[in-house]
Amino acid sequence: MLIITVISVLFAVLYLTLVLHFIIGWKRTDTFIAANCELPDIFISVIVPCRNEAINMQSLLFSLAEQSYRNYELILVNDHSDDATLEYMLSAQARFSTVRVVDAVGRGKKNALREGIQQSSGDLIVTTDADCIYSKQWLHTIAAFQHSCLSDLIICPVLFSGSTSLFATLQKFEFVSLVASGAGAAGVGKPILCNGANLAFTSTVWKENQAKLRDDEQSGDDIFLLESVKQQGGIIRFLKSEDACVFVEPVKSVNVFFRQRRRWAAKSPTYTDWELIATACIVFGISLCFVILIGLSFFNSLYFFFLFFIFIIKYIIDTFFLHIVSKFFRLQKVWLYSLLLSLVYPFYIVFVALSSFLIKPKSW
């Protein structure tokens, strides 16, 4: 009883401290308004790796064609698609002078990104995914932020859109917790997370760090780049602006969701940033404590009361954090969905963490 109690209290304190740091970092990060800045003149290369994305190509191209910022090139990289993706790309290239098509030689998303960046001309590289939708001010906001707050790497927000089902809403809350945590960590000068679906960095930074992006790993360029820039003392900022958001739809099936999360978790042993590793250990540790305490509660009611106490404390701090970021991320009924997520999260984290080491993830 004593050992599990002490360990659980330790992880609860660490978790509380961690989330408080994220809250402080979020509040320290000012909302950026591009209209208040001088008109930027930065040439941007937007890199979009695509594999069998024919269903998304029209909405992607329309969304990018509507951008108010015109000083950019769009590089579409075809990663051996066997549907009509390449045909859409070539059609767009024929219609718009700003569109370039790269037919990737190597295979995989990571290689597609590399080949696209190698053929880019922009001073600022922006990576995104083919299933994203953007506001008209997306590129203008990123360019204005870089002009105003010179950065080596800019972490930009990703939001979920589309379905309002319970499964989709829980995905949204879980994903917001990741994005907001990454933003908060960057706000206190300790960046740990970013997302290649909406990431900006200078071409110089990429050239200096491309050798450290782990060619032996199928994916993970975004985190590997962040780690490398951070280790070199580069300037990493979170762009807190709704106009800089990209929107993606949540996955539609539980199987796809867990495959995606296992793929993310499987890369964790290759990360070297101790702050990211410590964060992952704290989240996994408190989740594992919950699962163990639930099992022990069947044999001793004292474990149940202790579990309930820890659960309430964690629920309050999680809900407080989500409430603070709710306006930016367009969250509703925070207290309710935070409760539902809190009930399933420990099992989800433990399952994903353990299964990621037992089941080999697939690329893309």
- pLDDT tens for 156-204 read 999 998 778 999 999 999 999 999 999 999 999 999 999 999 999 999 9
Asked if residue 211 has pLDDT above 90, the reply is: no
Cβ-Cβ contacts under 8 Å for 262 (sequence gap 6 or more): 352, 355, 356, 359, 361
pTM: 0.92
In angstroms, the CA 273 to CA 101 distance is 35
Which burial class, exposed, middle or buried, applies to 70 when counting CB atoms under 10 A from its CB (0-12, 13-18, 19+)? exposed
Q: How far apart are CA 292 and CA 297, in angstroms?
A: 9
Q: Is the pLDDT of residue 14 over 90?
A: yes
Region of 240 please: left (phi>0), alpha (psi -120 to 50) or beta: beta
**CB neighbours of 87 closer than 8 A, spacing ≥ 6?**
54
Nearest to 48 by CA among 108, 113, 134: 113
pLDDT at 354 over 90: no
CB 15 within 8 A of CB 82: no
- Residue 362 confidence (pLDDT): 55
Average pLDDT on 77-100 reads: 92
Assigned CATH topology for domain 31-251: Spore Coat Polysaccharide Biosynthesis Protein SpsA; Chain A (3.90.550)
- Tens of pLDDT, residue by residue over 25-56, are 999 999 999 988 888 889 999 999 999 999 99
Overall average pLDDT of the 63-92 stretch: 94
CA distance 162 to 169: 10
Q: In the chain, pLDDT over 90 holds for what percent of residues?
A: 74
Taking each continuous run of H as one helix and of E as one strand, the counts in the chain are 12, 10
Domain positions in the chain are: 2-25+272-353, 31-251
Q: Cα dist. 165→162, 174, 178, 253, 332 in Å?
A: 9, 14, 20, 12, 13
- Going by pLDDT thresholds of 50, 70 and 90, the confidence category of residue 252 is confident
Q: How many beta carbons lie within 10 A of that of residue 215, not counting itself?
A: 12
